Amino acid sequence: MSAALDASLRAAVERKDVPGVVALITNRERVLYQGAFGVADVATGRPLTLDALFRIASMTKAITSVALMQLVEQGRLDLDDAAEKYLPELTGLKVFESFDATTGAYKLRPASRPATVKHFLTHTSGLAYPFTSANWRDFKPRAGETYPFGGPLLFDPGERWHYSTSTDVVGRLVEVISGRKLEDYFREHILFPSG
């Protein structure tokens, strides 16, 4: 197995699919595989090492998802539950029916269905980011309107995938259901146990 993985990862670097890669495979008892190939810095050619540090950026999304799935495994919530069951601020979500980028005028309608836990976990909730949606970037709510996780939905929950602030909702679900701050939950149930 090690030779095949080495060859595959080395080939990815040689094809220039990636400048470098570090891989680790483990089970509960031991490390099964580890390898480092390519460079950590393209400009200097500094090689990658097994203990290389990486910016993890949106990898906190994966950790947040693990936390939520632990709670699902414990039976504390179900993926098909309406998220508003735990987060009442999600009740009555609105969807853009129209948005005029030149004037900022918009028309909203009620979502056709409540967003489920699964919709937030899979980025199919209808939420967005300002950098993934011009509507969200340019949207200015009217006086008195509030949007707990950034703005109106782009589409009805479950209709399609769109990279979004959905993981913020997942993190809030973890906090509400576990009764712990997200960073404390991570530390106690994911980071400390994994060493």
Q: Active site residue: 61, 106, 125, 178, which one? A: 61
Task: Find all residues with CB under 8 Å of 48, minimum gap 6, and list them.
Answer: 20, 21, 22, 36, 37, 38, 39, 40
* Residues in a beta bridge with 46: 41
What span, in angstroms and rounded, lies between the C-alpha atoms of 175 and 13? 40
Question: Taking the CA of residue 6 as centre, how many other CA atoms within 13 Å lie in the half-sphere pointing to its CB?
Answer: 7
Find the catalytic residue in 65, 118, 147, 163: 163
Catalytic residue among 16, 58, 140, 194: 58
Per the annotation, the verdict on 58 as an active-site residue is yes
| Region class of 92: left (phi > 0), else alpha (psi between -120 and 50), else beta | left
Give yes or no: 181 in active site. Answer: no
CB of 174 closer than 8 Å to CB of 167: no
Is residue 85 part of the annotated active site? The answer reads no
Which residues are part of the catalytic machinery?
58, 61, 163
